[in-house]
Structure 1
Amino acid sequence: MYRLVLLAFVSSILSLQPSLAALPPAVTVTNIRRVFHNGEHNAFTDLVRFKGQLYLCFRSCPDGHMVFNTASTIILRSADEGATWQQVHRFSVKDRDTRDPHFLVFNEQLFVYTGTWWSGPGKIEPKEYDMNKMLGFAVSSADGTTWSEPAMLEGTFGHYIWRAATLGGKAYLCGRRKPGFDITAKGEGEKVQSLMLESDDGLVWKKRAYFTETAGDETAFLFENDGSLLAIGRHGGGKEAFLIRSKPPFIEWDRKSLDRAVGGPLVAKWGKHVLVGGRHTTKEKGAKTSLCWLVGEQLHEFAELPSGGDNSYPGFIELSPTKGLISWYSSHEKDEAGKTITAIYMAELNLSH
């Protein structure tokens, strides 16, 4: 009898091993530093590795966060795993605000995509922001040094484009738009659709599928080895975030609510674990850039980065199986005159088991 009980106990412990092994590791955050500030509003970061070097991109604008034709996208490069950075390119688009730049390595080219608001030759008021006039643009490079002129992305007019990913020789891009390109309301409302756009060359896009019919917003794609899709989507009303899954041919979509809103979401694979980052807002602390592990259908926060006010939109790159680099922007610091600055920050993430 006692032998049977002991065997049952041992069996139950062994059965727990896979789940215990799947638990994410502890993380320490080190080497926190400001990597860029030029006196302008600097925001919306992304990171990528391309041909052995690291690249960082973000928007910079002397007039601030809102829509201005003075905005541009800055691209920095590091040859020493993020210790130092040098600017390799800066571009803008006439009469448009280049916002939310993101990288994509595709067809041996490094692309930087930006969703642009039309602003015209001068400042426009928020009531005049028109989502139907949005248009995606991209610059690309084969070596990270010589860059193309900004190219209009066919099939993106009236779409606010965001993060992209690749699968099986095709590129996929998050784009959102008003249903029927409704012209009665300005800006973005809760009645916004999120679409998966598809491209063979990274420049010409077509609709592949809808994945959020209402309250669509910024969505980060992550393709698994089997071709299935895992995505983290921001709720258009700012109330929550969605865990979204689908499999080729991306006809059926499973969407579940997460326990928090995630502004400017990031999703990345680090070894066997899934990293999720973005803005988490609470009454006690306000808006903070938060990092979590996704375990099953639950987010487990492991770090709150130094941040406040206008912040978030992280980028991530794995440096080794136990070390990663995270970028984000924030307005929690002031300059020597006591004026709030909005700058680009970076830190190292270190795994311990």
Structure 2
Amino acid sequence: MWLWGVVCLTASLTTTGAAQSNVELVEVRKIWDRAPHNAFTDLLRFKDKWFCVFREGMAHVSPDGALRVIASEDGKTWTSAALLIHSQADLRDAKITVTPDNRLMLSGAGALHPPAEFKHQSLAWFSKEGREWTAPVRIGDPNMWLWRVTWHNGTAYGIGYDTAGEKFIRLYTSKDGRRFDALVPNLFDQGQPNETSIIFQPDDTALCLLRCDGNPGTGKLGSARPPYSSWRWKDLGVK
């Protein structure tokens, strides 16, 4: 039997020129292997602790997925803080962030067990310290896999990708992390777009790295200025 574990990678970055940098891997450490399959991680620092979240299950694709939260003060010794389960769904792709009112917000997607009205529903949980979590809250529309939530200037931004066959992504915003409204209903619809990550620059420019799985299946970089309703996209030429 294969046993998949969560590992922590430490790297150092050395700049050798204006357009070139070398990354040196200095340490690899396994931090968790309690389930047969442990994968799809996210990591942040909150109240002097590291929090790592990920999916646990019997396999990469299995109906029993749960979201594990582990914590560490030094990055070396890790303990379980919580295990979030859902009786009606395989929980996948845990992401964690901090809300403006200084709470942890954990989000993920539920692959609903049949029979169900739809295939997927994105969910969110909230915690003040990482151990006690609220009941799940539905975020975004059904069959829109909301990949990651990023807060900027008191507003949450997240991009969901369609899982019902139409193959497009949608930009959502929220003021409370619970109700997400579509800011751009169809943000991009070429090349089977799906997973995303948004960052905001000091001048409030938003940058979005987008994965595409179609032909040619190369990544895209999107950029937008406030109010983030109009985006420009560049093909990165790499997958």
| TM superposition score category, shorter chain reference | 0.7 to 0.9
User: Is residue 72 from structure 1 mapped to residue 66 from structure 2 by the alignment?
Assistant: yes
Structure 1, unaligned runs of 5 or more: 1-19, 122-128, 183-188, 262-353
Match of 1:223 among 200, 205, 219: 200
2:174 matched residue in structure 1? 199
Q: C-alpha separation between the residues in 2 aligned to 1:27 and 1:201?
A: 38
**Whole-Å Cα distance in 2 between the matches of residues 140 and 104 of structure 1?**
10
User: Aligned pair count?
Assistant: 220
| One-letter amino acid of the counterpart of residue 212, structure 2 | H
Q: Which structure carries more relative contact order (alpha carbon 8 Å, separation 6+)?
A: 1
Tell whether 2:117 aligns with 1:139: no
- In the alignment, which residue of structure 2 is the partner of 1:58? 54
Quote the Cα distance in structure 2 between the aligned partners of 1:138 and 1:204.
10
Q: Secondary structure at the match of 2:111?
A: strand
Deviation at 1:158, TM superposition (A): 2.1
**CA–CA separation in structure 2 for the residues paired with 1:31 and 1:236:** 32
From 85, 90, 95, give the equivalent of 2:88.
95
Q: 2:237 aligns with which of 259, 263, 282?
A: 259
Q: Could you tell me how far 1:24 is from its partner in structure 2?
A: 5.5
Partners in 1 of 2:167 and 2:158 — Cα distance? 16
**d(CA) in 2 for partners of 1:251 and 1:145?**
37
**How many Å separate the matches in 2 of 1:33 and 1:120?**
38
Alpha-carbon distance in structure 2 between the residues aligned to 1:67 and 1:255: 35
User: Is 1:148–2:134 an aligned residue pair?
Assistant: yes
Correspondence for 1:211: 187
Q: Tell me which amino acid in the other structure corresponds to 2:110.
A: T
Q: Secondary structure at the match of 1:218?
A: strand
- The Cα of 1:199 is off from its aligned counterpart by 0.6
Percent identity over the alignment is 26
* Partner Cα distance (1:169, 1:28) in 2: 36
TM-aligned CA deviation for residue 173 of structure 1: 1.0
Deviation at residue 248 of structure 1 after TM alignment: 1.0
* Cα 1:51/1:226, change in 2 over 3 Å: same
Match of 1:43 in 2: 39
Deviation of the 1:21 alpha carbon:
6.8
Q: CA deviation at 1:94?
A: 1.6
Q: Which has the larger radius of gyration?
A: 1
Q: Does 1:106 align with 2:93?
A: no
Q: Which residue of 1 aligns with 2:109?
A: 115
Do structure 1's residue 168 and structure 2's residue 153 form an aligned pair?
yes
TM-score by length of 2: 0.84
Matched, 1:158 2:137: no
Identify the structure with the greater helix proportion: 1
Q: CA deviation digits over 1:73-98, x for unaligned, max 9? A: 00011111x11211100011122111
Could you give the per-residue CA deviations for residues 254-291 of structure 1, whole angstroms, max 9, x where no partner exists? 11111321xxxxxxxxxxxxxxxxxxxxxxxxxxxxxx
- The corresponding residue for 2:8 is none
Any conservation in 2 of the 1:139–1:150 contact (CA below 8 Å)?
Answer: yes
| Alignment partners' CA distance in 2, 1:202 and 1:43 | 25
Write out aligned runs for 1:244-323 (5 A): 244-261=222-239
SS at match of 1:201: coil
For 2:86 and 2:161, the matched residues in 1 are separated by 20
The whole-number CA distance in structure 2 between the counterparts of 1:22 and 1:59 is 38
- Give the drift of 1:236: 3.3
Shift of 1:71: 1.0
Per the alignment, residue 78 of structure 2 pairs with 85
d(CA) in 2 for partners of 1:157 and 1:48?
28
Letter in 1 for 2:143: G
Q: What is the Cα-based RMSD across aligned positions, in Å?
A: 2.1
Structure 1 runs (4+) greater than 2 angstroms displaced:
20-27, 149-153
Q: Would the aligned equivalents of 2:69 and 2:130 in 1 still touch at CA under 8 Å?
A: no
Partners of 1:49 and 1:243 in 2: CA distance: 27
Q: How far, CA to CA, are the matches of 1:101 and 1:156 in structure 2?
A: 18
Work out whether residues 192 and 216 of structure 1, in 8 Å CA contact, stay in contact via their aligned partners in 2.
Answer: yes
